[in-house]
């Protein structure tokens, strides 16, 4: 029987997020600095075999139940279905977060390889605004990718929308209506201080209360039972689906967080806002056995802090942006 991956506060961790690449095919204004990114050399990125080995150790030794692949943009990694096959063989709940631009080409192949669920990041339904945010005129491709994911049987399909004051706050109802019509779950995410420009301010955050109240005033909602998942879920009273709100800033859920992360270069992180990495790549490439890998992970998690403490005077902003850490 597997041991539990428990930190000093008694939180059990069962969800592993793996960034398979730091590269992306978009240049979103809050993900990448204006001057662009310095990509990792290929030799510094974990191979599929290295990713699988770390994941296997965490599943076998600590009972990890779910794995989500992120980036950068994971679909730019060559032969991604092969990694899906490897990880699906571990018997976990396997999901992927993508910008959706290439899903028309990949959705059925990913589903056939064992992918179960998919999250698609999309911050505007308006073509001009979408192009302004992503620096790509690709909204039609992303919308077609959503259809492709549905056709491939990936379920549920969730849309991740970073809600930003002065940017897309006027689209809350548009997204709600889109989700109801398409049969997809829209998850609104409070804007977090992980933007590459390091220009985040609290005034830009569209809060949990504002999101819930604006949508609920038009489409009445009722809350669903809270789980360890980051989103607080609400069901439409007329039965036409649900939404989620991830309130990392105004209603932090650190006490129920069960996630750990592995970056593309093999750095193990116990929190999205962690200021310290734990180098598993070096262990792997220096011949560490499974016991040594498991102990390194366990030691890191036992040292996990209570929470990120955004908006507190002692909050320390991570030096890496979301695109470098993975979602």
Domain range list for the chain: 15-325
Q: What number of CA atoms fall less than 13 Å from residue 132's CA on the CB side?
A: 8
CB 52 within 8 A of CB 83: yes
Provide the CATH number for the domain formed by 15-325 in this structure: 3.20.20.70
Q: Is 278 helix (H, G, I), strand (E, B) or coil?
A: strand
Structure tokens at 272: 């999205």
Give the burial string for 117-136 (b: 16+ CB within 10 Å, else e): bbbbbbbbbeeebbeebbeb
* Bond into 72 cis (ω within 30): yes
d(CA 39, CA 73): 13
Question: Which pLDDT tens digits describe the chain residue by residue (327 residues)?
Answer: 689 999 988 999 999 999 999 988 887 766 665 566 677 898 999 999 999 999 999 999 999 999 999 999 999 999 999 999 999 999 999 999 999 999 999 999 999 999 999 999 999 999 999 999 999 999 999 999 999 999 999 999 999 999 999 999 999 999 999 999 999 999 999 987 655 556 657 788 999 999 999 999 999 999 999 887 889 999 999 999 999 999 988 887 778 789 999 999 999 999 887 778 999 999 999 999 999 999 999 999 999 877 655 555 445 555 555 555 655
């Amino acid at each position: 029987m597997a041991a539990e991956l428990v930190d000093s506060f008694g939180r059990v961790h069962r969800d592993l997020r793996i960034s398979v690449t730091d590269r992306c095919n978009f240049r979103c204004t809050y993900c990448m600095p204006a001057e662009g990114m310095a990509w990792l050399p290929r030799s510094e990125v974990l191979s599929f075999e290295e990713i699988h080995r770390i994941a296997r150790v965490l599943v076998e030794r600590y009972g990890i139940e779910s794995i989500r692949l992120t980036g950068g943009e994971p679909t730019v990694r060559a032969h991604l279905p092969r990694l899906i096959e490897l990880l699906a063989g571990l018997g976990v709940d396997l999901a992927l977060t993508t910008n959706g631009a290439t899903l028309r080409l990949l959705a059925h192949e990913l589903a056939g390889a064992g992918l179960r669920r998919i999250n698609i990041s999309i911050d505007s339904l308006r073509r001009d605004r979408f192009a302004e945010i992503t620096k790509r005129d690709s909204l039609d491709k992303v919308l077609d990718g959503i259809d492709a994911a549905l056709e491939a049987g990936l379920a549920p399909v969730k849309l991740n929308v970073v809600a930003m004051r002065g940017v897309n706050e006027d689209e809350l109802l548009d997204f709600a209506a889109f989700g109801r019509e398409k049969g997809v779950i829209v998850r609104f995410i409070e804007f977090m201080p992980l933007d590459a420009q390091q220009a985040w301010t609290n005034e830009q955050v569209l809060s949990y209360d504002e999101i819930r109240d604006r949508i609920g005033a038009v489409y009445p909602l009722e809350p669903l039972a809270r789980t360890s998942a980051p989103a607080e879920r609400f069901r439409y009273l007329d039965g036409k689906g649900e939404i989620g709100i991830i309130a990392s800033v105004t209603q932090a859920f650190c006490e129920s967080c069960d996630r750990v992360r592995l970056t593309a270069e093999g750095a193990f992180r116990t929190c999205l806002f962690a200021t310290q990495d734990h180098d598993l790549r070096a262990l792997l490439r220096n011949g560490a056995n499974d016991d040594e890998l498991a102990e390194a992970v366990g030691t890191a998690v036992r040292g996990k802090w209570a929470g990120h403490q955004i908006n507190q005077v002692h909050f320390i902003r991570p030096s890496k942006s979301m695109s470098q850490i993975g979602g």
